[in-house]
Amino acid sequence: MTKKNKIPTPEELLEEAKEIYTDPNLKDYISTINTLRAKGFTWRQIAGWISERGIKCNHNEVYYLFRKNEAARIEIEESGGFSDPVMEGLSELDREKRAEDQKYRDFMQEMGEG
Protein backbone atom coordinates (compact mmCIF):
# COMPACT_ATOMS: atom_id res chain seq x y z
CA MET A 1 0.00 0.00 0.00
CA THR A 2 1.41 3.39 -0.99
CA LYS A 3 1.39 6.28 1.39
CA LYS A 4 -0.02 9.46 -0.09
CA ASN A 5 2.16 12.54 0.32
CA LYS A 6 0.62 15.29 2.36
CA ILE A 7 0.26 18.51 0.38
CA PRO A 8 2.07 21.27 2.26
CA THR A 9 0.30 24.45 3.22
CA PRO A 10 1.41 27.76 1.68
CA GLU A 11 2.97 28.73 5.01
CA GLU A 12 4.99 25.48 5.15
CA LEU A 13 6.29 26.05 1.62
CA LEU A 14 7.21 29.63 2.46
CA GLU A 15 9.18 28.53 5.53
CA GLU A 16 10.98 25.86 3.50
CA ALA A 17 11.79 28.38 0.75
CA LYS A 18 13.25 30.81 3.31
CA GLU A 19 15.63 28.12 4.57
CA ILE A 20 17.13 27.43 1.12
CA TYR A 21 20.54 29.06 0.70
CA THR A 22 21.11 31.05 -2.45
CA ASP A 23 24.22 32.88 -3.56
CA PRO A 24 23.92 36.65 -3.26
CA ASN A 25 23.02 38.33 -6.54
CA LEU A 26 25.96 40.31 -7.91
CA LYS A 27 23.47 42.92 -9.13
CA ASP A 28 22.86 43.84 -5.49
CA TYR A 29 26.47 45.06 -5.33
CA ILE A 30 26.42 47.41 -8.34
CA SER A 31 27.06 50.48 -6.15
CA THR A 32 30.17 48.78 -4.74
CA ILE A 33 31.33 47.92 -8.27
CA ASN A 34 30.72 51.50 -9.43
CA THR A 35 32.64 52.91 -6.47
CA LEU A 36 35.63 50.61 -6.98
CA ARG A 37 35.67 51.33 -10.72
CA ALA A 38 35.58 55.08 -10.06
CA LYS A 39 38.64 54.59 -7.82
CA GLY A 40 40.51 53.03 -10.74
CA PHE A 41 40.19 49.33 -9.94
CA THR A 42 40.42 46.98 -12.93
CA TRP A 43 37.64 44.49 -13.62
CA ARG A 44 39.84 41.67 -12.31
CA GLN A 45 40.69 43.64 -9.16
CA ILE A 46 37.02 44.35 -8.52
CA ALA A 47 36.06 40.69 -9.03
CA GLY A 48 38.91 39.59 -6.76
CA TRP A 49 38.00 42.12 -4.08
CA ILE A 50 34.35 41.03 -4.10
CA SER A 51 35.24 37.31 -4.25
CA GLU A 52 37.51 37.69 -1.22
CA ARG A 53 34.43 38.79 0.67
CA GLY A 54 32.40 35.69 -0.21
CA ILE A 55 30.53 36.79 -3.34
CA LYS A 56 31.42 34.42 -6.17
CA CYS A 57 32.08 36.32 -9.39
CA ASN A 58 34.61 36.77 -12.16
CA HIS A 59 35.81 39.82 -14.06
CA ASN A 60 33.49 39.13 -17.01
CA GLU A 61 30.39 39.11 -14.82
CA VAL A 62 31.48 42.34 -13.16
CA TYR A 63 32.21 44.01 -16.51
CA TYR A 64 28.92 43.02 -18.17
CA LEU A 65 26.90 44.03 -15.12
CA PHE A 66 28.67 47.41 -15.11
CA ARG A 67 28.05 47.94 -18.84
CA LYS A 68 24.39 47.01 -18.48
CA ASN A 69 24.10 49.41 -15.56
CA GLU A 70 26.04 52.10 -17.46
CA ALA A 71 23.33 52.15 -20.14
CA ALA A 72 20.74 52.65 -17.42
CA ARG A 73 22.83 55.46 -15.86
CA ILE A 74 23.09 57.29 -19.18
CA GLU A 75 19.34 56.98 -19.67
CA ILE A 76 18.72 58.39 -16.17
CA GLU A 77 21.25 61.17 -16.76
CA GLU A 78 19.51 62.20 -19.97
CA SER A 79 16.11 62.18 -18.27
CA GLY A 80 17.06 64.58 -15.51
CA GLY A 81 19.80 63.27 -13.28
CA PHE A 82 20.51 61.15 -10.26
CA SER A 83 19.34 61.25 -6.70
CA ASP A 84 22.24 59.11 -5.44
CA PRO A 85 25.40 61.15 -4.70
CA VAL A 86 27.68 58.22 -5.58
CA MET A 87 25.96 57.85 -8.94
CA GLU A 88 26.15 61.61 -9.48
CA GLY A 89 29.90 61.47 -8.92
CA LEU A 90 30.24 58.56 -11.33
CA SER A 91 28.19 60.46 -13.88
CA GLU A 92 30.66 63.36 -13.64
CA LEU A 93 33.58 60.93 -14.03
CA ASP A 94 31.90 59.43 -17.09
CA ARG A 95 31.52 62.88 -18.68
CA GLU A 96 35.17 63.68 -17.98
CA LYS A 97 36.28 60.33 -19.41
CA ARG A 98 34.19 60.82 -22.56
CA ALA A 99 35.70 64.32 -23.00
CA GLU A 100 39.23 62.92 -22.59
CA ASP A 101 38.49 60.16 -25.08
CA GLN A 102 37.25 62.71 -27.60
CA LYS A 103 40.37 64.86 -27.15
CA TYR A 104 42.53 61.79 -27.74
CA ARG A 105 40.59 60.84 -30.89
CA ASP A 106 40.91 64.42 -32.16
CA PHE A 107 44.65 64.42 -31.46
CA MET A 108 45.16 61.10 -33.23
CA GLN A 109 43.15 62.30 -36.19
CA GLU A 110 45.32 65.42 -36.43
CA MET A 111 48.48 63.34 -36.22
CA GLY A 112 47.25 61.14 -39.05
CA GLU A 113 46.57 64.14 -41.24
CA GLY A 114 49.91 65.86 -40.51
Over residues 50-87, the pLDDT tens digits come to 999 989 899 999 988 888 887 666 665 566 555 555 55
Residue 12 in domain: no
Q: What is the tally of structural domains in the chain?
A: 1
State the residue range of the domain holding 90. Answer: 22-113
Residue 9 in domain: no
Residue 60 in domain: yes
Cα–Cα–Cα angle for 29, 53, 40, nearest 5°? Answer: 60
- For residues 76 and 63, what is the distance between their CA atoms, to the nearest angstrom? 20
Highest mean pLDDT (candidates 16-20, 98-102, 106-110): 16-20
Nearest to 45 by CA among 31, 33, 28, 54: 33
Residue 5 in domain: no
Nearest to 62 by CA among 36, 94, 90: 36
Residue 14 in domain: no
- For residues 63 and 44, what is the distance between their CA atoms, to the nearest angstrom? 9
Residue 43 in this model has a pLDDT that exceeds 80: yes
